[in-house]
Each structure stands twice: as C-alpha cells, then as structure tokens.
Amino acid sequence: MAPSRFVTSLAGPVTAGMALVALVAPSLEAGETPKPGEAPATSRQITHIKSRRDDKAVVESLRAGGYRFVLAPAPASSGQYDLYVAGADGSQQVNITSTADKDERLPRVNFRTGRIAFVTAGAASGTARDDKGRHGRLAFVDPDGRNREETEVTEVSDKGWNPDGTKLALSYSDRKKFGFRIYDTRTKQIQTFAKDKNGILDIDWSPDPNLLACATRKEMGFRYTILTMNADGTKIRPLTSESPNSDKPYCHSTWHPSEMRLAWNSRDGLLVGIYDPATGKATDVKSVVSFADVGWEDPCPRWSPDGNFIAFIRNVKPKRLCVVRVADSVWAELPMPKEWGFEPWDYDWLPKTGSGGG
C-alpha cells in the first residue's frame, strides 16, 4: 500500500544504538535573529542513530530495486559537465547530453514523469560558465536524452517540482536578487514572489502544494537558516536556527516525496525530521548518518522516489555519492567511476526502472 501523502510520524522508538541529546528549542518568529550558540528551533531533542557502512548490502538492494540516478560528475580533465544516467550500482552509464559547447548541471527530476530540469551554461546557451554551475539557463530533457528544451529563463540555481509535476520553484543564482520564481511548464509563464526578500536559496517544494522550504543567509534577518513559506511567499517561518555545536549552519533541506518529512545538512550529521504545520518547526529529529561518516556539513541530501533511501555526498577526494537506508541507518558509497567527483547539487534520483520516466 502506498504511504499516506501527509504521514506525520517516524516509525521506531528509541532503542539501543540511539543516544538522546537534550536541546532547548527557542521560539523564533520570522525576522528574529537567533543568538550565538542557541539550539536549533526544531524539537527538544535530537536522536543520534549509530550509522553503519555496508556497501555490499545497500548496493545490492538498490540494484535489485532498479534504482537510478541522473548525475553531472565533475570533469577529470575535459572541463566539461554533461548529464549521465546510471544505475545505483554504477551500471548502464549513458551520457544523455554530450554537448561540447555547454555545461549541464543541477538536475532535478519530476518523479511523476522522469522529466529532468537542469541548468545549462556556456556561450551556446548565452550564459557564462562558473565553477558551481549556478548562472545558467533553465532547460529540460527526458532520461533517454530526447526532447531537450531550453527556456528563456536565466539566472537559475536551485529548483523544486510541485507535487503534480507541472511547476518549478526557482531560486536566483545571484543571491542579491529579491524573491523567488515559479515557472509553469504548461504555459511557459513565470511569476516572481516574495519580492521584498533576498537571499533565498536551496528551494524545494513539499508534498503540500502550498508549502515550500528554502534556506537563507543574513539578508532576511536570520543567520544561515532553513525557512518554510507558502508558495506565494507569505507566512515565512524558521524551521531551524544554527547548530549549537558549530559555526556552520543548517541548510539544503529536501522534502520526502509523499510525506511531510524533511532531510537537511548539519554539524549533527544528516538530519531527518517531521514538519509540524501548527508551529512551522521540525519535530522528532533524527541524525540518520553521523557527522563522522558524512565527513562535512554540506552533504546535500536527496530522498529516493519511494522515500526508503536518502542519497548524500560524502566529503572525500573526490567527493563521492552515497546512499543511506533510512529505516536502519545503514549506508554505502556507490560504485561510480573513481574519476567521477560530485558537487553536492549535481545529482538526483530517477524513477525506478519500470516506473514513470522510462
């Protein structure tokens, strides 16, 4: 049976292998600035689950389940970024763009159809390349490389599909720009919201069509913080404030595809929590991969289409694509080519083999 679209509980009591860290949650409203050293505005505790590496077991599970990715691996020598489709076990690698005069990066997948939104940059796209791929033109392509479409929308960075797969929320690549945009793939029209707010980034759309999450830096009166807001830019509320044990922030939140749960970056590890619409806070927060295993504060997690796994980028040289099984915190480094390194934003899951998207 498919999970309820708005399930708001995480299964599993606290058991052996979990440790509780008590935190005092401050009450913050939009516009207030958390004080240095304050605890996250999440739950009153974080459950630290002991993560364990088992490459063989996790990769075999992914292979048997037909899980796939779209990837923009960092080029070893060519200076060229292309989109590749590959099985989660590293098999069936196919370059689906292969353009010598353009970079293709920052893929975000429509789990209903498999359609891939991405950013293209380079002289042939009328945009400049940069080391993070965040100044390009919005484009689309199917997982088999067909039906490529480049739009007139530029200065695109992060993006998130709405639940029915017809619209994209877009943050600006220039963080001094105000607001965010919503692009309608049917009408090709674009609207701008929150026009008095700048510094919106890491945007993603929740299973609730009226709710977004994003990150912001100092510009909106917060530190580097995760916010939620209505899809028209109203009712902005902080999901978190900074981690109490570091000068590094919470950021890069991503929504579960069908439940009101999020995963996000932190110095407490890769965190998962339940969104409480009454307060705008995250509750029942768990660290599903330890900070020691992740290796840094910026793993940029992405949920699998069925919500059973979370992918993340591990900080080794070169950076590696990893996956954790959410139910038991067992994780693996995926067997992608050793010459492939990954920036945290340059990958996403595809629908499994035999499901939407071909």
Using alpha carbons, select from 304, 302, 327, 336 the residue that is nearest to residue 66. Answer: 304
Average the pLDDT over 242-260 and give the result.
73
Q: What are phi and psi of 64, to 5 degrees?
A: -65, -30
Least-confidence region, from 10-14, 100-104, 350-354: 10-14
Q: Quickly state the pLDDT bin for 352 (edges 50, 70, 90).
A: confident
| More confident of the two residues 309 and 99 | 309
More confident residue, 298 or 83: 83
pLDDT exceeds cutoff 50 at 120 = yes
pLDDT of residue 228: 94
Residue 333 vs residues 38, 45, 90: alpha-carbon distances, Å:
33, 29, 11
Cis peptide before 238 (omega within 30 of 0): no
The answer to whether residues 111 and 68 touch, using CB atoms and an 8 Å cutoff, is no
Confidence of residue 26 (pLDDT cuts 50, 70, 90): very low
Average pLDDT of the residues in 277-284? 92
Report, as an integer, the average pLDDT of 124-150. 76
Q: How confident is the model at residue 35 (pLDDT cuts 50, 70, 90)?
A: very low
Confidence of residue 127 (pLDDT cuts 50, 70, 90): low
What would the pLDDT profile of 106-118 be if each residue is shown by its tens digit? Answer: 999 999 999 999 9
Does pTM top 0.85 for this prediction?
A: no
Check whether 17 has a pLDDT greater than 50. Answer: no
**What local confidence, expressed as pLDDT, does residue 43 receive?**
38
The CATH H-level superfamily of 34-350 is TolB, C-terminal domain (2.120.10.30)
pLDDT at 126: 47
Are 42 and 281 a contacting pair, CB within 8 Å? Answer: yes
Residue 18: predicted pLDDT:
37
Report the alpha-carbon distance of residue 352 to residue 65 in Å, rounded.
7
Pair of tokens at residue 104: 């293709």
* Average per-residue pLDDT for the chain: 81
Residue-level pLDDT at 31 = 34
* pLDDT at residue 40 greater than cutoff 70: no
Whether pLDDT at 356 is above 80: no
**Cα 313 to chain center, whole Å?**
11
